[in-house]
Amino acid sequence: MTRFIIIRHGLSVYNEARRFQGHLDIPLHAIGLEQADASAKYVLENYKIDRVYSSDLCRASRTAQPIADGLGLPLELDKRLREIDMGLWQGLGYDEAIARFPETERIRKECLGKLRYDGGESYGDVMARVRDFADEVLAENEGKTVVLASHGGTIRALFSSWLGYGPMEMAQVPIVPNASVSVVCIDDGKVTFELRDYTDHLAHVTVTDIE
- Tell me which of 23, 29, 34, 83 is the catalytic residue: 83
Say which of 9, 23, 151, 201 is annotated catalytic: 9
First-to-last alpha carbon distance for the chain, in angstroms, is: 31
> Residue range 37-62: average pLDDT?
98
How does residue 207 score in pLDDT terms, banded at 50, 70 and 90?
Answer: low
pLDDT recorded at residue 204:
86
> What average pLDDT is seen over the chain?
96
Give the residue extent of every domain in the chain: 2-202
pLDDT by residue (tens digit) across 76-121? 999 999 999 999 999 999 999 999 999 999 999 999 999 999 999 9
In one letter, which amino acid is 162? Answer: W
Based on the residue annotation, tell me whether 45 is a catalytic residue of this protein.
no
Contact, 205 vs 34, CB < 8 A? yes
Tens-digit pLDDT profile for residues 63-75: 999 999 999 999 9
Give long-range contacts, CB 8 A cutoff, 24+ apart: 39-42. 39/7, 39/10, 39/63, 39/179, 39/181, 39/201, 39/202, 40/64, 40/66, 40/67, 40/70, 41/66, 41/201, 42/181, 42/201
Residue 83 known to be catalytic: yes
**φ, ψ for residue 192, nearest 5 deg:** -130, 125
163 in the Ramachandran plot: left (φ > 0), alpha (ψ -120 to 50) or beta?
Answer: alpha
Say whether pLDDT at 209 is over 70.
no
The alpha carbon torsion through 152, 153, 159, 163 (nearest 10 deg) reads 140
3-class DSSP state for residue 66? helix
The CATH homologous superfamily to which domain 2-202 belongs is Phosphoglycerate mutase-like (3.40.50.1240)
The mean pLDDT of 149-156, rounded to a whole number, is 98
Mean pLDDT of 20-39: 97
Give, in degrees to the nearest 5, the angle at Cα 118 between 114 and 123: 40
Residue 206 pLDDT level (bands cut at 50, 70, 90) = low
